[in-house]
Structure 1
């Protein structure tokens, strides 16, 4: 029995705690493997330099001529039914301004840093936690035009360089086909909670993973989601939770209803719980449910 317990502990540590680095220098890897990303970045930089506008920064907004971000806190209900969430309205001039970054600038399993740390290392003015890809070995992960993983199993979200966003079936395509079609970033978590401007049926029954430790995402929880208002116009929502009198969290349906109320035509659930974090102008604006930020493997962000 002791040997069995020891073996289980070793397996659990290897599966959930020990870092398994597949790519040790993501910045160098992207520079080498993504001429499309490099060209897009160069074009965006040149455009920004030509039309440089001094950034206007407040406690709840950022604007620099190319990018406009406004964050609003919303509180609904009262007493134990209170829900508090944060809405970020984000408009960019180029789709490639919405980027992804990995913890420690590495790719692999169990590599984590806080959202604010990853954001600061990448000069982000705005960021939210991503899909926590490092918890699993499956999914299609394309980030900043580069393929990192091609193991399609679930419903993903694809951001294209032309500014449009699509929910797609990972099992019906490949990462290379997506890149060839103009995909800039993919997220592999879900489910999609809004499509064609309506709440998706059956979302309360979805299981993102079937592996140990993450079977279910049901119930009233802290949540993070991204929605699409229009071309290069996004809305991000972080719902706080697990704090009576401040915010109890929401169900997936409740999250979808928030998104449709904001005008999202498409919306997708990102990693939540203790991971749910929104960052603006160097500050975490929400109150993560762990009493502080929990490490995550990746972020979506906009740089200044």
Structure 2
């Protein structure tokens, strides 16, 4: 009986080798064991999953998804840009003060706007484009639209939900949370997006909607339970509790508008809780007040200059601003 090795033909000499030169013995081929095959398969699945996860994350948080290339053109076509342009003049008083003491002290910048018409309070998208993951520094957006005063908005482009009406044009109609509605007649309201629609709000005279939250003040009273609110279930956007940098907008009882930015996460400014922010806005005379995107996004720009201290050490790119010209 011949063994397997002896029945295997000797390999041919390597090209150019002398005939009869010693050649390495042939190595018998081995089959991978079951465990090895399983391990390799698991590794391939893990790699595929990881690549798919990276692709998903890039698509979800990085890749731009442009739905409207030129929002300003759309607004001109709808006639709402002309409405804003003819609204009249605006004036503002901007102050920065320290609220609280010691480790709880916070730097608060407040712009009180006196507008001839609410349509002078406008919104602008990064790159003048509507969609997801389209971002630019607030000061750059403000410069592009000629804003005298601007704050970061609700960062609508981080998500694909929420009713988005800007400058009288409906861009998205996917209601999921409580929103602030600013109407053309100068009134404001907190609405449940799931109980209405963008078309209905537009028909009722909505000029701007902001979908972040929570509502801070309604009918002049601080809203209860705001410390337990989660804005979204998106990655990185769950809890907004504790002392944080904040941005908020309020309609005061006398009809003026307050844009408020609170610095935080630094030795100089601790930030504010939602309740502290709501109480501060109530003290300004807020009838309705609403929390916007905060943290590193909290920015206020006056005459082209960032006048607060963003917690990232500089501006963070965002998808939108609220602003006033004049």
Deviation at 1:230, TM superposition (A): 3.5
Superposed, 1:77-116 pairs within 5 Å as 77-116=100-139
Counterpart among 289, 296, 299 of residue 267 in structure 1: 289
Q: 1:230/1:79 Cα in 2 relative to 1: closer, same or farther (>3 Å)?
A: closer
Give the distance between the partners of 1:31 and 1:70, measured in 2 at CA.
30
Give the aligned partner of residue 253 of structure 1: 275
Which of the two has higher C-alpha Rg? 2
1:300 and 2:322 aligned: yes
Q: Is the 8 A contact 2:90 2:325 kept in 1?
A: no
Residues 298 and 248 of structure 1: CA distance in aligned 2, closer, same or farther (over 3 Å): same
Aligned-residue CA RMSD (Å): 1.3
| Aligned counterparts of 1:118 and 1:231: Cα–Cα separation in 2 | 30
The offset of 1:7, in angstroms, is 1.6
Higher relative contact order (CA 8 A, sep 6+): 1
Alignment of 1:134-145 (within 5 A): 134-145=157-168
Gaps (5+ residues) in structure 2? 1-45
* Residue pairs, 1:163-202, within 5 angstroms: 163-202=186-225
1:266-294 Cα deviation digits (max 9, x unpaired): 11000000000011111111000000000
What whole-Å deviation, never above 9, does each CA across 1:117-148 have from its counterpart, x for those lacking one? 11110000011000000000000000001000
- 2:73 maps to what in 1? 28
- The answer on 1:204 being equivalent to 2:247 is no
For the residue of structure 2 that corresponds to 1:220, the secondary structure is: coil
1:204-243 to structure 2, matched below 5 A, reads: 204-230=227-253, 232-243=255-266
Q: Displacement, 1:80?
A: 2.7
Partner of 1:10: 55
Question: How many angstroms does 1:78 deviate by?
Answer: 3.9
Is the contact made by 1:115 and 1:129 (CA closer than 8 Å) also made in structure 2? yes
- Cα 1:41–1:199, aligned 2, differ >3 Å: closer, same or farther? closer
Deviation of the 1:69 alpha carbon: 0.5
Q: Equivalent residue for 1:74? A: 97
Asked whether the equivalents of residues 94 and 232 of structure 1 are also in contact (C-alpha less than 8 Å), the reply is: no
Give the secondary-structure state (helix, strand or coil) at the position aligned to 1:247: coil
> What is the alpha-carbon distance in structure 1 between the residues aligned to residue 254 and residue 180 of structure 2?
15
1:95–1:232 CA contact under 8 A, matched in 2? no
Large movers: runs of 4+ above 4 Å: none
Please give the secondary structure, in 2, of the residue aligned with 1:119: helix
Quickly say closer, same or farther: Cα 1:42–1:226, change in 2 above 3 A: closer
Deviation of 1:79 (Å)? 3.8
Question: What TM-score comes out, normalization by structure 1 length?
Answer: 0.89
Q: Give the gaps of 5 or more residues in structure 1.
A: 49-65
> Residue 150 in 1 paired to residue 173 in 2?
yes
- What is aligned with 1:277? 299
More strand per residue: 1 or 2?
Answer: 1
